Amino acid sequence: MLYFGKKNLITVCFMELDKNGIATGGTKEDKKQRKQFIIDFYGEWIIANPTKRLYNKSLEAFIEVRFLSVEETAGHASTIYKSTVAVTFLSEIIENAIAQKDKEGKIITEIPKPNVKNQSRFSKLFIMGYEKAGVGKIKLTVGELRSSG
């Protein structure tokens, strides 16, 4: 700790970062840094993918990344280090995530929860999964907008 005068106290914290610059700890500061990392990553991703969409093989359709997705992902994924790392594989996940299917091979969809504001814009949800070596199982939830169904 560094002291300046009698009243001002400054705490110096050292944040441990991985090779990608992602905070690995569990402190409030680490989570805040990971949230900013995710927001910055999405900004770079959008520059590299100006259409903000990629084709998913399992759905045989394009998945569009929307601002709502960025905000929600940053909030959720920043709480756990591995979830933040998973975000760095966004293109790979979007393109290769597999939709859950029933015994007949039909894609399973869920009805959005009526009391969840972020889900109210969607007519149905697809719960998808992707297995990434070194990260594990990654869940991707894709919503179909009411006007696009």
Q: What Cα–Cα distance (Å) separates residue 30 from each residue in 14, 34, 79, 126, 138?
A: 10, 6, 9, 31, 21
* Residue 58 domain-assigned (yes or no): yes
| Position 3 confidence tier, pLDDT thresholds 50, 70, 90 | very low
Evaluated on CA atoms 94, 97, 101, 104, the torsion sign reads positive
* Residue 8 domain-assigned (yes or no): no
| Position 16 confidence tier, pLDDT thresholds 50, 70, 90 | confident
Q: What is the pLDDT of residue 149?
A: 52
| Position 13 confidence tier, pLDDT thresholds 50, 70, 90 | low
* Residue 1 domain-assigned (yes or no): no
* Residue-range definition of the domain harbouring residue 98: 25-148
* Residue 54 domain-assigned (yes or no): yes
- Residue with the two structure tokens 């760095």: 88
Domain tally, the chain? 1
CA–CA distance, 84 with 78 (Å, rounded to integer):
6
**46, 52 Cβ separation under 8 angstroms:** yes
Tell me: pLDDT of 80 over 80: yes
Q: What is the pLDDT of residue 42?
A: 93
* Residue 6 domain-assigned (yes or no): no
| pLDDT, tens digit (0-9, with 9 covering 90-100), for 103-115 | 999 999 999 898 8
* Residue 17 domain-assigned (yes or no): no
| pLDDT, tens digit (0-9, with 9 covering 90-100), for 22-76 | 999 999 999 999 999 999 999 999 999 999 999 999 999 999 998 777 888 888 8
The whole-number average pLDDT for the span 70-96 is 92
* Residue 12 domain-assigned (yes or no): no
Measured CA angle at 29 (ends 134, 82), to 5 deg:
10
* Residue 18 domain-assigned (yes or no): no
